[in-house]
Structure 1
Amino acid sequence: MSWKGLSSGEACSDDAGWSGEPHPDIFVPRAVRDAAGPEPIRPVWRNEAAGVTFQVGVGIDRRFVKWSPPGGIDLTGEAARLRWAAAHVTVPLILGMGSDDQGSTLITAGLPGENAVTARWKADPAKAVAAIGAGLRELHEAAPASTCPFDWTQPARLGEILSGAGRLDPGDWHPEHQDLTVELALARLEHPPDVDRAVVCHGDACAPNTLLADDGTVSGRVDLGALGVADRWADLAIATWSTNWNYGPGWERPLLEAYGIEPDPERTAYYRLLWDLGPRRLRT
């Protein structure tokens, strides 16, 4: 699915893959079946690297099995980030990990609430967007950048993009970037804005990765496989962009108001381009 075909509820998507709710009859890997035993299995999310997250069981004892195919997302990196972040904010508890010839798995306990793009929250975007903005500010304030061992800064991300520059294809990019050549896009990325404030960023601040409790407050965060220190606009640029895909136009400013910051068009544009050219395998 291309960016042109992106529909509401599909958080981040491109021709290299798509993310969103998978078909109920999607393939269930052997490791997921083994982890579930007699309990029911429900696929709940597919990421851009063809990995799938499954819910096992129901109710307060439910757990989630994230499965990544060979060559997909590095779940050991996500596990390390979850363990570090758990000391500072609410994230899923790791219950186990494994790998076999079909791929790797990360099993976590369920958190209260549901993701911010379920039908309930898409019908109440004002409350959902306010919670996402406030929750992002909470993460940025609570997690100490000075002791975070993970790097998501502009130099590190641009270095990874440049290492794979030969595979870049403007046809994969968001429509607002498709008029750029690879050379022009890379030239723009060579001149980043000054860092506003270095914080621990989520790394994939699209709306579905925030969980909301019944009262509309943040109950947790998921999919932290790219968590690391960066300018806070690296998260804000994507969180605001995601409101367009998931709730429609007009919700970017309310998210920034809930966060407590004025719009910054220059930083927003830069970090959206950096995101658009970045490796899809890091997106969970």
Structure 2
Amino acid sequence: MTSHAWQTGRVEIAGPPMVPPPVPSAVKALASDDRIRAVWLNGLGGLTFEFTAPDATRRFAKWAPAGSGLDLDAERVRIEWAASFTAVPRVLAAGSDADGQWMLTAGLPGDTAVGASFQASPERRLLAVRGIARGLRMLHDTLPVDACPFSWSVTHRLAEARARGLTPPTTLDTPPAVDRLVVCHGDACAPNTLLAADGTVTGHVDLGSLGLADRWADIAVSAWSTEWNYGPGYESAFLEAYGIAPDTERLAYYRALWDAT
């Protein structure tokens, strides 16, 4: 039930907090009288809180501590753009204070693809893997390349990494030729796909890096994340459900790029 987040050469584990974290004052104010539950902690200290109202309506607040390097405003802009074309969270409010940034969104139907119901058996895990792959293909086929103002290209990612003080290997400066340019999710790991109980995709979340790139930039990491979240042996099922043959060169390159940036 975890995803990998990479930071300065170390693998950080992202997942539900082991211990309930303190709730920032801005998040408390957003919740009003709703029940607050921390549901996700990422490798940079960002938190996601679920708010549940008395009528069971759900909202979600993302919190990025000051100095974390997370940019929720960049994610807000991408979500609002993508919302015209596909199922993503509706932004209700956003803001910042001296302690950090926050963004409040309406809940979507379905559950995260790494939820308990999809971990219950090998059959349920396989159902989730296929749902994630079909959902990613749907995203790639739906979001309009010509209208997308955001980049997630190799050049863009390497430049951002070096600006943050990272030193990606120079071998990454020569990527494989672009197979198909699409609007990539940018963090298509298993937890960021929402599924109905039957494995049908109901939406995507965590779109802070959404932008134009070769589709293999998403495919390589999304397929990789099935091993992190469900165990080995699911990659071929993922690729089959997406509808693409394995490409060992692109899989290796875009995983190395993810590692380095």
The question of a shared fold, defined as TM-score above 0.5 by the shorter chain, is answered with yes
1:138 is aligned to 2:138: yes
- The answer to whether the Cα contact below 8 Å between 2:4 and 2:12 also exists between their aligned partners in 1 is no
Residue 149 of structure 2 is aligned to residue 160 of structure 1? no
- Give the TM-score normalised by structure 1: 0.86
**What's 2:64 paired with?**
68
- Which of 19, 23, 26 in structure 2 is aligned with 1:31? 26
Task: Percent identity, please.
Answer: 51
Letter in 2 for 1:112: P
Amino acid at match of 2:141: E
Alignment length (residue pairs): 253
Code of the residue aligned with 2:3 in structure 1: it is A
SS at match of 2:14: coil
**Partner residue of 1:276?**
259
The answer to whether the 8 Å contact 1:129/1:255 transfers is: yes
Matched, 1:49 2:32: no
1:206 aligns with 2:189: yes
1:20 aligns with 2:15: yes
One-letter identity of the residue aligned with 2:218:
D
Tell me what 1:196 maps to: 179
In the alignment, the residues of structure 2 paired with residue 57 and residue 94 of structure 1 have an alpha-carbon distance, to the nearest angstrom, of 17
Contact in 1 for aligned 2:4/2:11 (Cα 8 Å) = no
TM-score (norm 2): 0.93
- Residue 181 of structure 1 corresponds to none
Q: Residue 111 of structure 1 aligns to a residue in which SS? A: coil
1:94 matched to 2:83? The reply is no
SS of 1:230's partner is: strand
User: What are structure 2's unaligned runs of at least 5 residues?
Assistant: none
1:101 to partner: Cα distance: 1.6
Alpha-carbon contact 1:17-1:50 (below 8 Å) kept: no
**8 A contact 1:60–1:112 mirrored in 2:** no
- For residues 235 and 251 of structure 2, the distance between their equivalents in structure 1, rounded to whole angstroms, comes to 11
Farther-moved stretch of structure 1 (213-222 vs 195-204): 213-222
8 Å CA contact retained: 1:140, 1:200: yes
Note the C-alpha offset of 1:60. 5.1
Between the aligned partners of 2:27 and 2:48, the Cα distance in structure 1 is: 9
Contact 2:95 2:102 (C-alpha < 8 Å) held by counterparts:
yes
Tell me how far 1:17 sits from its aligned partner.
4.2
Question: 2-side partners of 1:191 and 1:53: how far apart?
Answer: 36
Counterpart of 1:258 (choices 223, 229, 241) is: 241
Task: Measure the CA separation in 2 of the matches of 1:16 and 1:212.
Answer: 27
Q: Which runs of 4+ in 1 moved over 4 A?
A: none
Per-residue CA distance 1:60-118 (angstroms, 9 max, x = gap)? 52100000001231111000000110011100000001211211100000000110001
